[in-house]
Structure 1
Amino acid sequence: MNLRTAAEGGIPADEDKQIPSWHALSTAAVFAQLQTSDEGLDPQEAGRRLECYGPNELPAPPPRHPLLRFLAQFNNTLIYFLLSAAVLAAIVGHVIDASVIVGVVLVNAVVGFIQEGRAEQALNAIRDMIAPHARVLRADRQHDIDARAIVPGDVVMLEAGDMVPADLRIVRARNLLVNEAILTGESLPAGKREEPAPRGAPLGDRHSMLFSGTLLASGQATGIAVATGAETEIGRISALIGEVQTLETPLLRQINSFGRFFTYFALAIAVALMALAMLVHDYPWVDALMIVVALAVGVVPEGLPAVITITLAIGVQRMARRNAVVRRLPAVETLGAVSVICSDKTGTLTKNEMTARRIATADRETLVTGAGYSPDGRIETMEDGVAPAETLLVRSALLCNDAELVEAAERWNVLGDPMEGALVTLAMKAGLHPEAERERFARIDEIPFDAQHRFMATLNRELDGDSRIFVKGAPERVLAMCAGQISGEHGGTDAAVDAEYWRRRIAAAAANGERVLGFATARAPATLERLGFRDVETGLTFLGIVGFIDPPREEAIAAVADCRSAGIAVKMITGDHVDTAVAIARQLAIADDPRAMTGAEVDRISDHDLGAVVEGTSVFARTSPEHKLRIVRALQQNGRVVAMTGDGVNDAPSLKQADVGIAMGRKGTEAAKEAAQMVLVDDNFASIVAAVKEGRTVFDNIRKVISWTLPTNGGESFCVVLAIVFGLALPMTPVQILWINMILTVTLGLVLAFEPAEPNVMQRPPRERDAPLVGPFLAWRILFVSILFTIGVFGIYDYAMRSGLGEPVARTMVVNTLVVMEIFYLFNVRYLHMTSFSPRGVLGTPSVLLALVVVVAGQFAFTYAPFMHALFGSAPVAFFDGLIIVAIGIVLMGILEGEKALMRRFGPLRKANG
C-alpha cells in the first residue's frame, strides 16, 4: 500500500499534494486505511513495512567532493585575470609579484571553501531532530525501539517531555499540550484531542495530529504513525531546503560583472597597445610585451579582492559586538542592500513573555502596567482602594495555577505555562504574595486543563476551614458553567450572566490582539475532598476576564522607526492569529495602517499576482513554510533584497532562500542556524537593524576602497597608454609601478576597511538590487581622478626634465607625486556623502594616521636609501621639489572637494543623500 496513492480509494486528501488528510479522518477510518488496530502491528508485518517504506529518517543528499568545492572558488572572471597577470609577471621575471597575486587568490579561495562547507550542514541539522527512540505497541505488547524502525500503522505511546518520532494521528489524548513552535511559530503549546479537524485546517489548527520533531509539553498521547521519514512535515521541509538554490549575493554578482567587463576592456587595450607599439613605433616584440606587462601591472587591482575580504571580515567583527554573528562573509555586505526585513513576531519583535494587560469585571475594565514576568507595575484601579471582584479574580488566577516565578540574574523567569506565569505576576502586582496565598488556601484537589473540556479547576481550603472552587479557561466555556456574575461594587452575585456584555468585552480584547481567559468561583461544602465535573459544570459565579499579550520590545519599536526612515519595509510573517499579529504591528508602527493576510488567502493568489500583493501587505498570519517561501520569492522577483528571520525548522527553507537568512541564537533550532547566513545572539530585532547599519557601512567602505584604488591604477595605465600613443618615454618603470601598488595597497588601501559609518548612513534609501558596483558617480569619479593623476604625473615629469634633473630623479618625483596625491585623495574619499573639510575629516582615525606614518617612511626610504636606488632606479629629491609635490596634493584635494560639493547639490550624490 502506497500512502501517496491512498487517496484514490475515497480518502479525503489535500488536492494539491495528493496526500490523505489524516487529520480529517476518524480514528476508525485511519485504522482501516492503514490496516492496523489498537493492539498495534504484528512484528512480522512491521518488518515487511520497514522494508517497503524504509527507515524513519531523512535521506541524506549526495555530498559534493571537497576538491570540487575548492576548485569552484576560482570560477570568477577577475580571478582568471589576476592569475593571468601573475603568469605575465612571472614570464618577465617578477616572481615575487606573481607569488603575491597567487597568494591573494589562494587566501580568498580558502575562506570561501570554509564558509561554504558549513552551509551543507543545514540538512544534517534537520535530520538529527528525529527522536532516537520510541515506545510502540505491537501485538498488544509494548516495545522500546529505535525511532528509525517506526513504520506507517505503528501505534506509538508518548508522555510529557517526549519528542514525537513520526507524524501521528491521535487515537487517545489526556491533558495534551504540544510545543509546535518549530513548525508553526506559535509561542504557546497547542491543545490536542482525538476528534477530526476540518479538512482545510492549516497546520497549526490540526488538533488531531502530532508532528515529527515536536515536543509534548504536558499530558499523554497514543497515536497511529501515518507518515515516516521524508513523508513527514519535517521531511517535506527538508525537501524544500534541498530545492532552494543558494542565491548569489549582490556584491558577488556585481564583482563578477565588474570583473568580466574589466577583463575584456583591459585585454582589448593591451592588444591594441602592443600592436601600436610594434606596428607604428617599431618596438621589438619583447619590449612591446614589457609594455603590456607594465600596463597589466598598472591596471589590475591585484589587492582589491583581499581588501574587500578584509573589509567584510571587519564588518563581521563589528556585527559580533552588536550581537549578530555572521556565518558567511558576503552576507555582511548584503545586509547593507536590504530593502525588506521579513520578521517573525514572537521573541524577535516581542518579548516572548506573556503579560496580563487587561482585567474586565462586570462593572469596569482596568489596565495593568508593566511588561513581561517582572512584578514591576500595578493594576490602575486598585491603587486607592481594593475592589472585591478584582481581588477575588486575581486570587482565583493565582490559586487555579501551577506556574512559579523565579528571579535569577536580575531576570524573572517562569516555570510552567507562560500564561499561568503572567497570572502569578498579576497577583504580585496586586499585592498578593504567591507562597503565602497558596499556603493560606491549600489545594485539596484539581481537574487539570484538557483541550477537550477547555478549563482547569481547583478545590482550595482556607485555614479557617472554608472551601472554594476556582475555575479558569476559555471564557465562553467558563461562562456556560456560570449561573451569575459578581459585582465589583458590592462583591456579591447580583444577577444572571450578561452574555452580550461579555461577548463585547471578549471581542474587544481579541481585536487588540489579546488572548483571553475567563475566571469563575463557587463555595464548596467543607466535606468535599474530590473535585469532579459535576461540581463545576453548573452554578459557578463568573468573576471576569483577563486579556494577555506578548508585548513588543521597546527597542524593536525604535528599530522599526529606524527602518522606515532608512527606506526599509518591515513585514511580519508569523504562525500566530491574525488579530494578535495586527495588534502588535500597530504597536510597532510597522506601517501607518497595517494590512494583513492569512496563509489561506495567500494560497488563493497565483505567483504572478502575489508580487503586487506582498508589497502592500505588512502582516502575514497563520503561515506555513510554503507561504514563507512564496512571500520571499515574490519580494525578490520585485527586485527587493530580502532579510528573513526565523527560529524553527519551518523557517529553514525561507532562511536559505532569502538574500540574508537570520536565525535566532537563543530559541533557534540548529536547522535554522545552519540554513541562515547570520545568527542573532539576543534574538532581538534591534540587532538586525544595527547589523543593517554595519552592512551599509561595509558597502560604503568597499565603494571607498574601489573609488580610491582604481584611479591609482587608472592614472598609471593612462600614463603608459599616452606614452605609447605619443611615442614618449615611460614616466615610471614597471618595477616602480609595482612599488606604488605594494606600498599603497597594504597601507592606505587597507585603512578604508576600518572607516566608521558616515552620519547619514541610515537616512539614505537602500540601493537597488541590481545597482552596479561602479555606478555613474563612481565611474565619473574614477575617470576624473585618473585624468587629474595623469596631469599631475606628466606635469611633474615635464617639470623635472625641463629643470635638467635627469630621468631617475624625474621618475622618483613621479612616484612621490602619485603617492602624495593618493594620500590627499584618501582624505577626500573617506566621506563620499559629505565634505571632508571638518575636524573629524582632517584628523583621520588611528588607522589612517598609522598608515600615513608607514607610507611616509617607505617613500623616504624609496627616495633616499641607496639600496632602494639599486632596486627601483630611484634618486634623491631636493627639499623644494618635495614642497612642489605636496602642493600638488593640496590642489588635488581642493579640486575634488569642490567636485564633491557640486555632485551633492546637482549630481548623483543628491539622490543618495535623500
Structure 2
Amino acid sequence: MNAVTTPSAAPAGRAAAGAPDRAVATPVPGTADLAVPAAPDLVAERGLTAAEVAERIAQGRTNATDAGLSRSVWQIVRANVFTRFNAILGALFVLILITGSFADGVFGIVLIVNSGIGIVQEYLAKRKLDRLALLHAPTIRVVRDGRTVEIPTADVVQDDLIELRTGDQVPADGRLTSASGLELNESNLTGESDSIPKAPGDEVRSGTSVVAGTGRFTAAAVGADAYANRIAAEARRFTRTRSEIQDSVNRLLKYITWVIVIALPLQIWSQYRAIGDQGWREVVIRSTGGLVGLVPEGLVLLTSVAFLLAAVQLTRQQVLVQELPAVEGLARVDVVCLDKTGTLTVGDIVFEDLLPLDVYDEQDLREALGALADDANANGTLKAVADAIPAPQDWERRHTVAFNSARKWSAATFAGARGTWVMGAPDVLVRGHEDGAEEIRHRVGELAGTGRRVLLLANTDQALHGQDLPGGIVPRALVVLSEQVRPDAKETLDFFAAQGVAIKIISGDNPTTVAAIARRVGLEVGPEGAVDARTIGSTPEELRDIVERTTVFGRVSPEQKRALVNALKMNGHVAAMTGDGVNDALALKDADIGVAMNNGAQATKAVAQLVLLDGRFSHLPSVLAEGRRVIGNVERVANLFVAKNVMSLIAIVSAAVAALPFPFLPRHLTLVSAVTIGIPSFFLALGPNKRRYLPGFLRRVLRFAVPAGVIAGLVVLVSYLVAKKEPALLAWEAAGGCKGPAAELASAKQICWHPSTAATVALLITFFWILVVLARPLRAWKAGLVFGLIGVTVLVFLVPAGRDFFDFAFTPALLWQSLLVGAAGAVAIEVVYRTTPGMKAATS
C-alpha cells in the first residue's frame, strides 16, 4: 500500500491554554541535523500548475511511501514453512510415503497444519492493520493553478503549496510562507503537549497537527525524506518478538537434531539387523517410528494453537495481536513504561471548578465564563469550559482577541455594561495588581501541584483595542481545569502493582504535573520519584542507575525514551512500552513488548506487537492473564511431549543393544500421542492458569520429563521382552512364522504382533498416569476428559476395525501382564512427581 505515514491528530484538549508550568515553545529534540531546505520561490497565490505536478510525479518527488506495516506475504510464508521442525518431519514423511504405508504417515498432517496456522494468523493481522490504515488515510488541502483542492496526503508533491487549518495533520516538511494565529501540536515528535506558535519563515514538520489558526507552507521534504517517515523507516525494520517458549522449543529441536543425526544410523543398522529379512520397507517403517517419536511435533503445534486462540480471544476484547509470541511476552514483563496522555489520562482537559476571588456573584461569574467560551474559534481550553457551562442568551459579543501561546490569554468585549472579560495565565494577568497578588499565586501554586491547570478570570470596563491587553483588569476567579483521568487507570495500575510489575511514567510534559496525576491514580511517587529528563543523561549506560529508583520522568526527548527502555533491558528487566506518537516509535521497537494505541501514528502501530483498537490501557491485564495462561499451560503439557521423546530414545537404544525390532510402528506412537498427549494437551492449554511467570521454562520441563521418559522407556522394554518370552510366540518364530513383510502375514500370524501390542498397552497406562499427574488439580472437566480418552482407547482395542488398523493382537494373560507393567510405571511416575522440586506448584 502506498500511503504516507502520518499520525492521527492529537485531541485539541491536549493543547491547553495558559498553564503556568508549561514551556511556551521548544525545538524538536535531536533534529538539529535535519534542517529543512528552503523551498523554491513559488507564486504564493498560484501554487504548482498541473504540468509541474505531473513532472514531479514522473520524477518520483511525491509524498507516497512504501509504508508496509509488517512483513510481506512471502516473508510470512518463508518464516513459517522453512523451519528445523518442518525439515525433520518432512524428510521422515517422504520416507514413509515412499514405502507406501500411508497409515503410518498421519504425523505429516501436523507439519501442514502447524505451518498453516502461523501463516494465516500473521496474514490476517497484516490485513486487518492495513485495512485500518486505509480507513484512516488523511487528506490535505493544496493550492494548484490558483485553486484550493483537497487531495490524499500521499498525492502531495515536492514544492506543493499546502494550506493548513485547525485539525489538519502536517503531511510534509517545509517553511511557512504565511500564518495567522497558527499553532502546532508537536507531541507526536517531542512528547511535549503544549501547542507551539508558528510565524512565517518557521519550519513545520510532518507528524505534527494544527490546533489553532491557519497557514501555508511549501513542501520541501516529502515522502521518505520527511522527518516522520525517516523515523518510521527505521522503526519498520522487522524484528520478531522473543518467546521463551519458542526459544526453548527451538533449542530442544536443535539438540534433538543432533540426537537424530546420531540415532539415525544406529536405528537403521539395528532394524536392518533385526528385521532386514522382511524387506527394506519394514526397515524404513520401523526406523521412522523411532525417529518420529524423537520429534516433539505436537509441542510446536500446540504452542502455535495456544498463541492463536489467545490472539483470537484478545481480538474480541479490542486487542490486535500482530505477533503471536507477544501474548506470552507481556506475561514475562516486569516493567511497563507508559506516557501520561492516552494511558493515565484520556488526553482531553475538562472544566473542574470555578473559585471566586472576591464578593462577585458566582452565578454572574459562570455566565461571564460561559459567554467567553461561546466562541466559534475556541481553543481546547475554551471548548472544555463550553462543555461544562452553557452560554447565556443575552450576552452580545462585540470584539474578540483569540488565545495565543505567546501572550497566554484570550478576551472578549460584550455590549452594554458587561465590559471586557479576560481569561489567561495568572502570572500574566496579575501583573500590576499587587493587592492580593501573592495570595493568588499561592493558591495557583497549590492547585498546580496537584496536577490541575489554573487560569485566571478577570474583567475590566475598558474595551479591547487591537491585540493589546486592556488596562484596569480586576481578578475575579480562578478557573480550575484538569486532564481527564481514565476511570480505569487506577484499577489497571493496582493490578500491575499486585502482580509485581513496576510502572515507569515517561512523558514529555512537566514532571511535577505528571507526578501529581500519577499520585491521583494511586502511584507512589516520593520526593525524588520524579525527575526532569533534561537534567539526566541520554545514553542507556548513563541512565541505568536512575531508571531503577525513579518512577516519573518528565520533559523526555524521543531519544531518551529509547535510551530509558534500553537501560531497563540492560538491567535485566523485561520491558513493555506503550505509546501513540511518532516520538514513541523507536522506543516501542526496542522494548520487549510494544503496545500502540489505534488512534496513534501509523509508525507506532507498524512496530508494535499489540495494538489497542479502542485505545483502552485497561486491556493490558487481560493480555497479561492470557499470556500467563499460555505459558503455564504450555509448560504443563510440554512435559508430556518431552517425556515421549525421551521414551523413544530409550527404546531406540534398547532395541539396538538387544538386537530387537523397534517396539512400535509409527501408527502405534500416533495413537499414544493422540490420546495421552495431543488431544488432552489441546484442552489443557485452554484451561485457566493464573500462575505467575517464572524464568527457566526448559529447565523445569526437563527436570520432570527426562526421568518420566526414562521410566516410560523401561516400561516399553520390559513389556516387550515379557511378551517375546510367550511360549506360543517362541514356537511360531522358531518355525519362521514371523518372517516376511507385515502386509503379507496371514491372519493366523497375528501372534507376531503380541510384543508390540503389549508394549503399546503398558506405555498407554504409564502415559495416562503422566497425564493425570500433569492435569492436577483434577477438576470435573479434566476428569471427564481423561476418562473419555481412556474409553476411546479401550474401544480401539475392542473394535475389530481398530485392532486391524493398528495391528493389535493379544491374549488375556498378555493383557494382564502389560497392565501390571504399566501400573508399575505409573507408581514410579507418581514418585518422580512428588519428589521433583516445583512440580506441585506448577500444576496447582
Q: What interval of TM-score do these two structures reach, taking the shorter chain for normalisation?
A: 0.7 to 0.9
Match of 2:766 among 821, 824, 832: 821
1:432-456 CA deviation, whole Å, 9 max, x = no partner? xx25xx1254545433323343222
Contact preservation (8 Å) 2:580, 2:604: yes
Q: Equivalences for 1:773-852 in 2 at 5 Å?
A: 773-775=697-699, 777-794=700-717, 796=719, 808=753, 811-830=756-775, 836=776, 841-845=777-781, 849-850=784-785, 852=787
Q: Which has the higher contact order (CA 8 A, sep 6+)?
A: 2
SS at match of 2:627: helix
Match of 2:373 among 401, 408, 421: 401
Contact preservation (8 Å) 1:274, 1:292: yes
Structure 1 position 40, deviation (Å): 7.5
CA distance in 2 between counterparts of 1:426 and 1:143 reads 37
Q: Which amino acid aligns with 2:542?
A: D
Counterpart residue number, 2:735: none
Q: Which amino acid aligns with 1:849?
A: G
Q: Structure 1 residues 749, 154: closer, same or farther in 2, change over 3 A?
A: closer
Q: For structure 1, which segment, 46-55 or 81-90, has the greater mean C-alpha deviation from structure 2 after superposition? A: 46-55
CA distance in 2 between counterparts of 1:805 and 1:36 reads 103
Q: Equivalences for 1:111-130 in 2 at 5 Å?
A: 111-117=117-123
Contact preservation (8 Å) 2:451, 2:516: yes
CA distance in 2 between counterparts of 1:717 and 1:349 reads 54
1:607-654 CA deviation, whole Å, 9 max, x = no partner? 443445444443343445444334334444444433222223443444
Counterpart residue number, 2:291: 296
CA distance in 2 between counterparts of 1:56 and 1:622 reads 34
SS at match of 1:176: strand
Match of 1:55 among 29, 54, 61: 61
Q: Equivalences for 1:408-427 in 2 at 5 Å?
A: 418-424=380-386, 427=389
| 2:180 pairs with 1:174 | yes
CA distance in 1 between counterparts of 2:754 and 2:275 reads 26
Q: Structure 1 residues 620, 71: closer, same or farther in 2, change over 3 A?
A: same
Match of 2:197 among 192, 195, 198: 192
Counterpart residue number, 2:257: 263
Contact preservation (8 Å) 1:119, 1:674: no
| 2:807 pairs with 1:873 | yes
Counterpart residue number, 1:369: none
CA distance in 2 between counterparts of 1:306 and 1:439 reads 69
Q: Which amino acid aligns with 2:597?
A: M
Counterpart residue number, 1:695: 627
1:134-157 CA deviation, whole Å, 9 max, x = no partner? 33488xx55648667866666543
CA distance in 2 between counterparts of 1:277 and 1:810 reads 16
Counterpart residue number, 1:135: 142
CA distance in 1 between counterparts of 2:802 and 2:164 reads 80
SS at match of 1:300: coil
Counterpart residue number, 2:457: 519
1:835-886 CA deviation, whole Å, 9 max, x = no partner? x3xxxx223436x634642x23431232222233323232356496797578
Structure 1 position 390, deviation (Å): 5.3
SS at match of 1:539: coil
1:142-200 CA deviation, whole Å, 9 max, x = no partner? 56486678666665433334443422434543343445454445667x2423288xxxx
SS at match of 1:108: helix
Counterpart residue number, 1:25: none
CA distance in 2 between counterparts of 1:359 and 1:504 reads 16
Q: Structure 1 residues 108, 884: closer, same or farther in 2, change over 3 A?
A: closer
Structure 1 position 688, deviation (Å): 0.9
Structure 1 position 519, deviation (Å): 1.1
Structure 1 position 576, deviation (Å): 2.7
Contact preservation (8 Å) 1:575, 1:624: yes
Structure 1 position 747, deviation (Å): 1.6
Structure 1 position 597, deviation (Å): 4.9
Q: Structure 1 residues 318, 123: closer, same or farther in 2, change over 3 A?
A: closer
Contact preservation (8 Å) 1:126, 1:649: no
Normalised TM-score (structure 2)? 0.81
Q: Structure 1 residues 105, 802: closer, same or farther in 2, change over 3 A?
A: closer
Q: Structure 1 residues 870, 556: closer, same or farther in 2, change over 3 A?
A: same
| 2:349 pairs with 1:354 | yes
SS at match of 1:842: coil
SS at match of 1:348: coil
Q: For structure 1, which segment, 144-153 or 545-554, has the greater mean C-alpha deviation from structure 2 after superposition? A: 144-153
Counterpart residue number, 2:410: 456
Contact preservation (8 Å) 2:351, 2:482: yes
Structure 1 position 37, deviation (Å): 7.8
SS at match of 1:544: strand
Match of 2:612 among 663, 672, 680: 680
Contact preservation (8 Å) 1:297, 1:738: no
Structure 1 position 559, deviation (Å): 2.4
Contact preservation (8 Å) 1:644, 1:660: yes
Q: Structure 1 residues 267, 70: closer, same or farther in 2, change over 3 A?
A: same
Counterpart residue number, 1:538: 471
Structure 1 position 778, deviation (Å): 1.4
Counterpart residue number, 2:685: 753
Q: Structure 1 residues 755, 504: closer, same or farther in 2, change over 3 A?
A: same
Q: Structure 1 residues 729, 623: closer, same or farther in 2, change over 3 A?
A: same
Contact preservation (8 Å) 1:130, 1:165: no
| 2:824 pairs with 1:856 | no
Counterpart residue number, 1:86: 93
Q: Equivalences for 1:483-562 in 2 at 5 Å?
A: 484=433, 496-523=434-461, 531-533=464-466, 537-562=470-495
Q: Structure 1 residues 181, 521: closer, same or farther in 2, change over 3 A?
A: same
Structure 1 position 737, deviation (Å): 2.3
SS at match of 2:488: helix
Contact preservation (8 Å) 1:816, 1:859: no
CA distance in 2 between counterparts of 1:645 and 1:534 reads 42
| 2:452 pairs with 1:476 | no
Q: Which amino acid aligns with 2:210?
A: L
Structure 1 position 756, deviation (Å): 0.7
Counterpart residue number, 1:375: none
Q: Structure 1 residues 799, 259: closer, same or farther in 2, change over 3 A?
A: closer
CA distance in 2 between counterparts of 1:877 and 1:403 reads 95
| 2:379 pairs with 1:439 | no
1:584-622 CA deviation, whole Å, 9 max, x = no partner? 2333455553744556456x5334434454444433434
Q: For structure 1, which segment, 865-874 or 729-738, has the greater mean C-alpha deviation from structure 2 after superposition? A: 729-738
CA distance in 2 between counterparts of 1:779 and 1:278 reads 32
Q: How many residues end up aligned between the 2 structures?
A: 789
CA distance in 2 between counterparts of 1:309 and 1:535 reads 67
CA distance in 2 between counterparts of 1:561 and 1:645 reads 17
Q: Which amino acid aligns with 1:474?
A: A
Structure 1 position 698, deviation (Å): 0.5
Contact preservation (8 Å) 1:281, 1:727: no
Contact preservation (8 Å) 2:271, 2:662: no
Q: Structure 1 residues 145, 689: closer, same or farther in 2, change over 3 A?
A: closer
CA distance in 2 between counterparts of 1:148 and 1:534 reads 38
SS at match of 1:319: helix
SS at match of 1:859: helix
Structure 1 position 668, deviation (Å): 3.1
Q: Which amino acid aligns with 2:93?
A: A
Contact preservation (8 Å) 2:241, 2:325: no
CA distance in 1 between counterparts of 2:716 and 2:636 reads 23
CA distance in 1 between counterparts of 2:310 and 2:675 reads 24
Q: Which amino acid aligns with 1:312?
A: F
SS at match of 1:679: strand
CA distance in 2 between counterparts of 1:389 and 1:120 reads 59
